Amino acid sequence: MSYRVRIENTQHEFTVEEGEAVLSAALRHGLILPYSCRGGTCGTCMGKVVEGRVSYPDGRPPALSEAEEAVGQALFCQARADTDLAIEVREVRSADDIRPRKLPCRVERMDTLAHDVRRLWLRTPGNERLQFLPGQYIDFLLRGNRRRSFSLANPPHDDELLELHVRQVPDGRFTGYIFEELKERALLRFEGPFGTFFLREDSPRPILMIGGGTGFAPIKSMLEHAFHHGIDRPIHFYWGVRARHDLYLADLPERWAREHASFRYTPVLSEPRAGDRWNGRTGFVHEAVIEDYPDLSGYDVYMSGPPPMIEAAKTAFAIHGLDPGHLYFDSFDFAVDPEDDPA
Ligand code: FES
């Protein structure tokens, strides 16, 4: 059995299955409602039921008072629909709708993705979840008020663990610490989410995505979000790296291309090595994009990667008709700070 839910302030509608939390159903349909703990303790997901009835299988959650419940307030991370519903709740439409928070986290596990790329999986405390938009980043908080930024590679709907792809920066003390000293179960602190590099879902335009190196991370988050929510705008992803061994997780975009008819994937190597046996595209990644799309005037373009790649692409894409209002980018700063020190 399922019920219809209508969000009064936006007129968006979705269905919720019997026994499913209203928040979970909304997220499943690509509607982002505010949340934090998803455990009934923080109150972030509170809204109002203006028509219909909800109930709580485990009793009224701690962050909902009797008085609030009496006037129709509800915690949608816990509320189950007993009838069709009309609700009032603020939808998250932009990065400004999510307040960055400082949170501790534990390194749940780590794996090596390439000779200079390591993946970290972070767990936030039991009753805390980080809400973010696909493409945003967090800052690790280090000693001496220093910070190091890393994009979230997991999509928002899969938020039990936070996934980061960390590239080792030569002489970078913090990334050196991650590669040489950091152990599973270590505790770190971060603040986030930050950034305006996130997927604009209200545009009808086809999408070009360009990632350089670990610029793949935020693009992975966006793509997994898009696939999960059935966004079927054409998406062509170009991944620019130096050599074949830099294409970490290479089977992932290949699999997406097999599974999603509207998705295309083109890896581009700038300096293939003799042993690479590479028959694919070579050169600068932005030049490969222009070869395939000489007129960019009808596209939304997302790109993330090192500053030289971003700068070269911005200039070239403007010449090829890209409207700057449809260009979204995240310039990774790999600057080395010898004073970096892990907290
Ligand atoms: Fe914290 Fe619902 S998200 S109470």
Query: How is the chain split into domains, by residue range?
Result: 2-91, 97-194, 207-331
Query: For residue 78, which atom of ligand 1 is closest to its CA?
Result: 2
Neighbour count for residue 272 (Cβ, 10 Å): 18
**Cβ neighbours for 214, distance < 8 A, ≥ 6 positions apart:** 117, 151, 165, 166, 167, 332
What is the CA(90)–ligand 1 centre distance, in A? 14
Report the distance separating Cα 37 and Cα 43, nearest Å: 8
pLDDT in tens, the chain (343 residues): 899 999 998 899 999 999 999 999 998 887 888 887 788 988 889 999 999 999 999 999 999 999 999 999 999 999 999 999 999 998 887 777 888 999 999 999 999 999 999 999 999 998 788 999 999 999 999 888 888 999 999 999 898 999 999 999 887 888 889 999 999 999 999 999 998 899 888 889 999 999 999 999 999 999 999 999 888 899 999 999 999 999 999 999 999 999 999 999 999 999 999 899 999 999 999 999 999 999 999 999 999 999 899 989 999 999 999 998 899 998 876 544 444 444 3
The structural architecture, per CATH, of the domain 97-194 is: Beta Barrel (2.40)
Instruction: Write down the CATH number for the domain with range 207-331.
Output: 3.40.50.80
- How many CB atoms lie under 10 A from the CB of residue 190? 26
Instruction: List the one residue out of 162, 230, 212 whose CA is nearest residue 313.
Output: 212
Which pair of structure tokens corresponds to residue 301? 């373009």
Give exposure, 58-84, as e/b (b: 16+ Cβ within 10 Å).
eeebebbeeebbeeebbbbbbbbbeeb
Of all protein residues, the one whose alpha carbon is nearest to atom 4 of ligand 1 is 40
For residue 246, the one-letter residue type is D
pLDDT given at position 340: 43
Contacts of 251 (CB under 8 A, 6+ apart): none
Q: In CATH, what number does 2-91 get?
A: 3.10.20.30
Centre a 10 Å sphere on the Cβ of residue 270 and count the other Cβ atoms it contains.
Answer: 17
At 252, the amino acid letter reads L
Q: Are 146 and 190 in contact (CB under 8 A)?
A: no
Q: What is the pLDDT of residue 334?
A: 52
Mutate to test the pocket of ligand 1, among 44, 60, 99 (most ligand atoms within 8 A of CB): 44
Asked if 123 and 129 count as a contact pair (C-beta separation under 8 A), the reply is: no
Could you tell me the distance, in angstroms and rounded to a whole number, from the CA of residue 238 to the centre of ligand 1?
38
Structure confidence at residue 332 (pLDDT): 78
- Closest-CA residue to 172 (of 342, 14, 16): 342
Distance, CA of 159 to CA of 64 (rounded, Å): 24
Interatomic CA distance for residues 67 and 79, integer angstroms:
16
Taken in order 299, 261, 113, 275, the sign of the CA dihedral is negative
Ligand 1 mean position, distance from CA 133 (Å):
17
CB distance 278 to 269 below 8 Å? yes
Q: Residue 205 carries which DSSP code?
A: S
CA pair distance 178, 193, nearest whole angstrom: 21
Return the number of other C-beta atoms located less than 10 Å from residue 160's C-beta.
11
pLDDT value of residue 333 = 65
Atom of ligand 1 nearest to the CA of 77: 2
Q: Three-state DSSP class for 24?
A: helix
Note the pTM of the prediction, 2 decimals: 0.82
The closest-lying atom of ligand 1 relative to the alpha carbon of residue 127 is 1
Where do the H-state alpha helices sit in the chain?
22-28, 66-70, 173-180, 216-228, 251-259, 285-292, 307-319
The binding-site residues of ligand 1, defined as CB within 6 angstroms of any ligand atom, are 35-38, 40-45, 63, 75, 77
